[in-house]
């Protein structure tokens, strides 16, 4: 299965955002600081994953 680096990065960003959101809303409300943390987690997950190249089949 071939997954392009774009979709790999999108999924990583969504997963990071979902984890940060799950942690942030445990107390029943969302503050501005928690919202900023969610956005930064999504951007960080997306950006870091975008920069890491997919491995080539012959490198395994």
Identify each DSSP E strand in the chain by its residue range: none
Packed helices 5-24 and 32-51: angle between N→C axes, nearest 10 degrees:
160
Look at residue 27 and tell me if it is in a domain.
yes
Distance CA 39, CA 43 (A): 6
The per-residue pLDDT for range 4-43, each reduced to its tens digit, is: 778 888 999 999 999 999 999 999 999 999 999 999 999 9
Look at residue 60 and tell me if it is in a domain.
no
If we measure between CA atoms, which residue out of 48, 36, 37, 51 comes closest to residue 12? 48
46 lies in which domain range?
5-52
What DSSP state is assigned to residue 54? P
Look at residue 57 and tell me if it is in a domain.
no
Look at residue 19 and tell me if it is in a domain.
yes
pTM for the complete prediction?
A: 0.77
What DSSP state is assigned to residue 30? -
How many separate domains does the chain show? 1
Look at residue 32 and tell me if it is in a domain.
yes
């Amino acid at each position: 299965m071939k997954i392009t680096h774009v979709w790999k990065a999108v999924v990583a960003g969504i997963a990071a955002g979902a984890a940060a959101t799950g942690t942030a809303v445990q107390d029943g409300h969302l503050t501005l600081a928690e919202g900023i943390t969610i956005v930064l987690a999504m951007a960080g997950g997306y950006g870091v994953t975008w920069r890491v190249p997919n491995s080539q089949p012959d490198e395994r």
